[in-house]
A and B are shown apart, each in its own frame.
Chain A
Amino acid sequence: MAKAQAAVVGVGTTAYGRLPDYDAYDLGMWALTEALGDAGLKFEDIDGVIINRIPDYQRFCEIAGIDPQYVTITPGHGRFAAICIDTAISLVASGRCKTVALVYGNNGRSAGASYGGPEDSYGSGANGLWFPYGMTSPGAFHALMMRRHMGLYGTTPEQIAQVSMTFRNHAALNPQAVMREPFNLDTYLDARMICDPLRLLDYCLINDGGVAIIITAAERARDFPKPPVYLRGAALQTVFADSMFPPEDFWRGAMKKVTDRSFGDAGLSHADMSALMIYDNFTPTVLFSLEGCGYCGEGESGPFVAEGHLALGAKFPTNTSGGHLSESYMQGWALNVEAVRQLRGECGERQVSEAANVHYCAAAPVCSSIVYSRDAS
């Protein structure tokens, strides 16, 4: 077990929802200003910048008035939240940078962003084969995976509903969440079908918002106003080479690899996790992640969630903010901030008591796992 090499010392978020007066740059600036305030830093202290979803890195740095010695920009895919954080860990651990700012800005709701249709290239280059059949959109591919899971293991809509209902109950305790009204099973089942077996309440919420995270080397992390949150383990695994999509194993193989590597680096195991932050673009992703990470057995995620393990107060409180399904679709970024805030004890009514370690994971063509801890080792 190695000592953590990096830590989060500042986080910042904007309001989420419909914010038509703000573009992605404004939202990024808002979030970065909050994060710097949280860390007690000034703009000129930033020497590394990683931009996600905001259209242009140069314009953003011009607006922020900064000249970092490292800059990069990444595609606006949710899988990139963990990739960016993993890169930031390398930058500070190697001494290449002292203070890396990760900045995400998304004005998708006001800009009318949508998924599916002729411009959607989700999956792989095979969309030339799919479109003539009316097949498109990330949600539809998750629906294909969900149906396969239902066919193989007998997973039911009533079980899937538990994920969505639980996260909404959490969102009810989060003033920042966009959707805060709890709903029951009948409401879930009556919600309109988008792509059967997935209903409206299985889908995340496209909104406007921004998130920023400040990462520095672990040995400097005690010099900031807030208690540091250590990045104890982080791992990525791509799933590109298999030409069949969606993957037959529900990304279990890759999720197991990233969990094993990041838990190994952290010297921690499943039972050590106080809370989980699971990338929930759609409800099925949560089920697949629970199996891949090993919180339950293969094919057992339906009964597992139905037993209530994801609720606050239960064994593995998950997406305590409400997640993408109920807080806002901030493409993994806000879930990483929630992990930090839980470990700092800043979560008010939804605070997990004595939170010590939080596991973030995302099941996607790039699988990822990050272990956040109150302690450095």
Chain B
Amino acid sequence: MSFKQGITAKPRPRITPDHQPLWDGFKVHKLMLPYCEECGKPHLPPGPVCPYCLSDRLDWREASGCGTISTWVEVHKVWFPAFADDVPYNVIQVELAEGPRITANLIDFGGKIEVGQKVQATFDDVDEDLTMLRFKPA
């Protein structure tokens, strides 16, 4: 699957202050997760406080990048014009080894995607301002 830029640009991530460390991590090819310093749990999507205990003492730590495909779809409809050349393309949700689930695409796979498949994070430098997290088979 290719991700070449169409005539209309693909949607960029909306990076709020809460999300900034995640995208900063992608740029240096690291998958960072916000851990709660009170209860110890990591969470996604990033938020201002830990969703489990509401503590605002969050510490971003590097995750293993290992995970399992919890579910996936193959998008056939062109919801975003810039994806017109990509359809059908996959979207996967990965349950990271650390627990939280994250949404991305699977690349470099042999044609088959399965729930339960082991995957590994990989990083795609889209342009100098944006690196996207993707996954490849582990």
Contact = CB atoms under 8 A, between A and B. Distances in A.
A185 to B, nearest CB: 20
A192 B74 CA distance: 12
Contacts of A197: 73
B60 interface: no
Contacts, number: 105
Given A140-B73, A196-B74, A131 B105 contact: no
A126 B11 CA distance: 14
Contacts of A128: 13-16, 19
A66 B53 CA distance: 48
Interface SS of chain B: loop
B57 interface: no
Given A129-B13, A147-B72, A193-B88, A136 B79 contact: yes
Nearest to B51: A243
A116 interface: yes
A134 B19 contact: no
B114 interface: yes
A63 interface: no
A137 interface: yes
Interface string B1-37: 0000000001111111001000000000000000000
B136 interface: no
Given A151-B71, A243-B45, A131 B11 contact: yes
A205 to B, nearest CB: 16
A129 B19 contact: yes
A243 B47 CA distance: 9
B123 interface: no
B77 A151 contact: no
B105 A192 contact: no
A65 interface: no
Contacts of B14: 127-128, 131
Contacts of B73: 140, 143-144, 147, 195-197
Nearest to A118: B11
B40 interface: no
Contact of B71 (A118, A124, A132, A144): A144
B70 interface: yes
B60 to A, nearest CB: 16
B75 interface: yes
Given A133-B105, A193-B74, A144 B80 contact: no
A2 interface: no
Contacts of B11: 118, 131-132
A349 interface: no
Interface in B105-120: 105, 114-116
Contact of B80 (A125, A134, A152): A134
A56 B61 CA distance: 48
23 contacts: A116-B79, A117-B80, A126-B103, A128-B14, A128-B15, A129-B13, A129-B45, A131-B14, A134-B79, A134-B89, A137-B77, A148-B70, A148-B115, A151-B115, A194-B77, A195-B73, A195-B75, A196-B76, A196-B88, A197-B73, A243-B43, A243-B45, A243-B51
Interface of A: 116-118, 120, 124-137, 140, 143-145, 147-148, 150-152, 192-197, 241-244
Interface of B: 10-16, 19, 43-45, 47, 51, 70-77, 79-80, 83, 86, 88-89, 91, 93, 100-105, 114-116, 132
Given A127-B14, A150-B115, 5 more contacts: A131-B11, A131-B14, A134-B91, A137-B79, A242-B51
Q: Which 6 residue pairs are nearest across A and B when measured between Cβ atoms? A: A151-B115, A128-B14, A131-B11, A148-B71, A196-B74, A116-B79
